Protein backbone atom coordinates (compact mmCIF):
# COMPACT_ATOMS: atom_id res chain seq x y z
CA UNK A 1 0.00 0.00 0.00
CA UNK A 2 1.42 3.38 -1.04
CA UNK A 3 0.81 6.13 1.51
CA UNK A 4 1.33 9.79 0.72
CA UNK A 5 1.24 12.32 3.54
CA UNK A 6 0.31 15.94 2.92
CA UNK A 7 0.54 18.63 5.55
CA UNK A 8 2.90 18.98 8.47
CA UNK A 9 3.47 15.76 10.37
CA UNK A 10 4.74 16.25 13.88
CA UNK A 11 7.28 14.02 15.51
CA UNK A 12 5.76 10.75 16.64
CA UNK A 13 7.21 8.58 19.38
CA UNK A 14 8.62 5.30 18.02
CA UNK A 15 5.88 3.31 19.81
CA UNK A 16 3.22 5.53 18.25
CA UNK A 17 4.86 5.12 14.86
CA UNK A 18 4.89 1.32 15.34
CA UNK A 19 1.18 1.32 16.26
CA UNK A 20 0.29 3.34 13.17
CA UNK A 21 2.44 1.08 10.99
CA UNK A 22 0.58 -1.93 12.44
CA UNK A 23 -2.78 -0.35 11.54
CA UNK A 24 -1.55 0.42 8.04
CA UNK A 25 -0.32 -3.15 7.64
CA UNK A 26 -3.70 -4.51 8.77
CA UNK A 27 -5.54 -2.25 6.32
CA UNK A 28 -3.13 -3.29 3.56
CA UNK A 29 -3.87 -6.94 4.32
CA UNK A 30 -7.62 -6.27 4.11
CA UNK A 31 -7.16 -4.49 0.79
CA UNK A 32 -5.22 -7.37 -0.82
CA UNK A 33 -8.36 -9.50 -1.05
CA UNK A 34 -9.56 -8.14 -4.39
CA UNK A 35 -6.14 -8.77 -6.05
CA UNK A 36 -6.01 -5.48 -7.94
CA UNK A 37 -2.46 -4.60 -6.88
CA UNK A 38 -1.19 -1.75 -4.74
CA UNK A 39 -3.60 0.78 -3.33
CA UNK A 40 -2.86 4.47 -3.05
CA UNK A 41 -3.77 6.07 0.24
CA UNK A 42 -3.67 9.78 0.91
CA UNK A 43 -3.33 11.12 4.46
CA UNK A 44 -4.00 14.84 4.80
CA UNK A 45 -2.89 16.41 8.07
CA UNK A 46 -4.02 19.90 9.05
CA UNK A 47 -3.55 21.96 12.18
CA UNK A 48 -5.94 24.74 13.17
CA UNK A 49 -5.43 26.46 16.52
CA UNK A 50 -5.27 23.57 19.04
CA UNK A 51 -6.82 20.92 16.85
CA UNK A 52 -5.16 18.39 14.58
CA UNK A 53 -7.28 16.94 11.78
CA UNK A 54 -6.35 13.75 9.96
CA UNK A 55 -8.16 12.69 6.79
CA UNK A 56 -7.40 9.30 5.22
CA UNK A 57 -8.70 8.67 1.70
CA UNK A 58 -8.44 5.51 -0.39
CA UNK A 59 -10.30 3.64 -3.12
CA UNK A 60 -11.50 0.08 -2.51
CA UNK A 61 -13.76 -1.98 -4.78
CA UNK A 62 -15.11 1.06 -6.61
CA UNK A 63 -15.78 2.87 -3.32
CA UNK A 64 -13.99 5.98 -2.12
CA UNK A 65 -13.44 5.57 1.60
CA UNK A 66 -12.77 8.58 3.79
CA UNK A 67 -11.84 8.41 7.45
CA UNK A 68 -11.64 11.74 9.22
CA UNK A 69 -11.01 12.63 12.84
CA UNK A 70 -10.02 15.75 14.74
CA UNK A 71 -8.30 15.78 18.13
CA UNK A 72 -5.89 17.82 20.23
CA UNK A 73 -3.23 15.13 19.61
CA UNK A 74 -2.06 14.34 16.09
CA UNK A 75 -1.42 10.65 16.84
CA UNK A 76 -4.95 10.17 18.20
CA UNK A 77 -6.45 11.91 15.18
CA UNK A 78 -4.49 9.68 12.79
CA UNK A 79 -5.23 6.55 14.81
CA UNK A 80 -9.00 7.21 14.85
CA UNK A 81 -9.04 8.06 11.13
CA UNK A 82 -7.36 4.73 10.30
CA UNK A 83 -9.88 2.95 12.58
CA UNK A 84 -12.77 4.51 10.66
CA UNK A 85 -11.26 3.37 7.35
CA UNK A 86 -10.86 -0.16 8.72
CA UNK A 87 -14.53 -0.28 9.81
CA UNK A 88 -15.65 0.93 6.37
CA UNK A 89 -13.58 -1.75 4.64
CA UNK A 90 -15.05 -4.44 6.89
CA UNK A 91 -18.58 -3.19 6.17
CA UNK A 92 -17.98 -3.36 2.41
CA UNK A 93 -16.45 -6.83 2.69
CA UNK A 94 -19.45 -8.08 4.70
CA UNK A 95 -21.82 -6.86 1.99
CA UNK A 96 -19.83 -8.67 -0.70
CA UNK A 97 -19.39 -11.91 1.26
CA UNK A 98 -21.21 -14.92 -0.12
CA UNK A 99 -23.54 -16.26 2.56
CA UNK A 100 -23.97 -19.66 0.91
CA UNK A 101 -20.61 -21.33 1.13
CA UNK A 102 -20.26 -25.06 1.37
CA UNK A 103 -21.63 -28.12 -0.38
CA UNK A 104 -24.79 -27.82 -2.43
CA UNK A 105 -26.58 -30.49 -0.34
CA UNK A 106 -26.59 -28.17 2.68
CA UNK A 107 -28.22 -25.44 0.57
CA UNK A 108 -31.01 -27.80 -0.44
CA UNK A 109 -31.56 -28.89 3.18
CA UNK A 110 -31.80 -25.28 4.38
CA UNK A 111 -34.19 -24.36 1.55
CA UNK A 112 -36.45 -27.34 2.23
CA UNK A 113 -36.46 -26.59 5.96
CA UNK A 114 -37.52 -22.97 5.42
CA UNK A 115 -40.08 -24.01 2.81
CA UNK A 116 -41.73 -26.43 5.23
CA UNK A 117 -41.97 -23.71 7.89
CA UNK A 118 -43.58 -21.22 5.50
CA UNK A 119 -45.92 -23.64 3.73
CA UNK A 120 -49.44 -22.28 3.34
CA UNK A 121 -52.25 -23.95 5.24
CA UNK A 122 -54.04 -26.74 3.43
CA UNK A 123 -57.55 -25.84 2.29
CA UNK A 124 -60.34 -27.08 4.54
CA UNK A 125 -64.01 -27.54 3.90
CA UNK A 126 -66.69 -25.85 5.99
CA UNK A 127 -66.75 -28.84 8.32
CA UNK A 128 -62.99 -28.53 8.97
CA UNK A 129 -61.74 -31.52 6.95
CA UNK A 130 -58.66 -31.28 4.73
CA UNK A 131 -59.37 -31.35 1.01
CA UNK A 132 -57.11 -31.76 -2.01
CA UNK A 133 -56.71 -29.03 -4.64
CA UNK A 134 -58.74 -29.26 -7.82
CA UNK A 135 -57.50 -31.55 -10.58
CA UNK A 136 -56.79 -28.68 -13.01
CA UNK A 137 -53.96 -27.42 -10.75
CA UNK A 138 -55.92 -24.50 -9.35
CA UNK A 139 -56.77 -24.57 -5.66
CA UNK A 140 -60.41 -24.62 -4.64
CA UNK A 141 -61.84 -21.88 -2.45
CA UNK A 142 -63.88 -23.05 0.51
CA UNK A 143 -66.30 -20.73 2.24
CA UNK A 144 -65.83 -20.85 5.99
CA UNK A 145 -68.60 -19.58 8.22
CA UNK A 146 -68.43 -19.19 11.97
CA UNK A 147 -70.16 -21.85 14.02
CA UNK A 148 -73.46 -20.88 15.54
CA UNK A 149 -73.08 -20.09 19.16
CA UNK A 150 -72.28 -17.30 21.48
CA UNK A 151 -69.80 -14.58 20.43
CA UNK A 152 -66.25 -15.06 21.77
CA UNK A 153 -63.57 -12.79 23.18
CA UNK A 154 -59.95 -13.04 22.01
CA UNK A 155 -58.95 -15.07 25.07
CA UNK A 156 -61.83 -17.52 24.57
CA UNK A 157 -60.89 -17.90 20.90
CA UNK A 158 -57.28 -18.71 21.86
CA UNK A 159 -58.58 -21.42 24.20
CA UNK A 160 -60.98 -22.80 21.57
CA UNK A 161 -58.47 -22.94 18.66
CA UNK A 162 -56.79 -26.10 20.00
CA UNK A 163 -54.52 -27.64 17.30
CA UNK A 164 -56.35 -26.02 14.37
CA UNK A 165 -54.48 -23.50 12.18
CA UNK A 166 -57.30 -20.93 12.45
CA UNK A 167 -60.71 -20.24 13.97
CA UNK A 168 -63.48 -17.99 12.63
CA UNK A 169 -65.82 -16.45 15.21
CA UNK A 170 -68.04 -13.48 16.03
CA UNK A 171 -66.48 -11.03 18.48
CA UNK A 172 -68.23 -10.53 21.79
CA UNK A 173 -67.83 -6.75 21.94
CA UNK A 174 -68.89 -5.73 18.45
CA UNK A 175 -70.47 -8.84 16.97
CA UNK A 176 -68.18 -8.50 13.94
CA UNK A 177 -66.53 -11.42 12.20
CA UNK A 178 -62.94 -12.22 13.25
CA UNK A 179 -60.32 -14.81 12.28
CA UNK A 180 -57.62 -15.97 14.70
CA UNK A 181 -54.69 -17.54 12.81
CA UNK A 182 -51.90 -19.60 14.41
CA UNK A 183 -48.41 -18.47 13.36
CA UNK A 184 -45.34 -20.70 13.03
CA UNK A 185 -43.75 -19.03 16.07
CA UNK A 186 -46.71 -20.15 18.32
CA UNK A 187 -48.19 -16.64 18.38
CA UNK A 188 -51.45 -15.63 16.75
CA UNK A 189 -52.62 -13.13 14.13
CA UNK A 190 -56.09 -11.63 14.64
CA UNK A 191 -57.99 -10.39 11.58
CA UNK A 192 -61.14 -8.45 12.33
CA UNK A 193 -63.64 -7.81 9.54
Cα–Cα separations (whole angstroms), residue 86 to 24, 46, 70, 81, 184: 9, 21, 17, 9, 40
- Conformation bin of residue 116: beta by default, left when phi > 0, alpha when psi is -120 to 50: alpha
Domain membership of residue 144 as a residue range: 121-192
Last residue of a domain, one of 63, 96, 129: 96
57 located within any domain: yes
Q: Does residue 54 sit in helix, strand or coil?
A: strand
151 located within any domain: yes
Check pLDDT > 80 for residue 127. no
From 21, 94, 84, select the one nearest 61 (Cα to Cα).
Answer: 94
Contact 147, 127 (CB under 8 A): no
| Total of domains in the chain | 2
Query: What's the CATH number where 167 sits?
Result: 3.30.505.50
Query: What's the CATH number where 59 sits?
Result: 3.30.160.100
Check pLDDT > 60 for residue 120. no
Of 24-28, 60-64, 141-145, give the lowest mean pLDDT range: 141-145
Check pLDDT > 60 for residue 38. yes
104 located within any domain: no
pLDDT digit string (tens) for 49-66? Answer: 888 888 888 887 777 888
Binning pLDDT at 50, 70 and 90, where does residue 35 land?
Answer: low
Q: What is the DSSP letter of 99?
A: S
Amino acid sequence: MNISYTGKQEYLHPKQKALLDGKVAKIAKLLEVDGKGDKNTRVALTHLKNEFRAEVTLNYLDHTLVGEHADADQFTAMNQAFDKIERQIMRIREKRRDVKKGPREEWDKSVSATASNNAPAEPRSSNGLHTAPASNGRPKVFRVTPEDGKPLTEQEAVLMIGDEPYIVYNTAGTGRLAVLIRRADTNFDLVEC
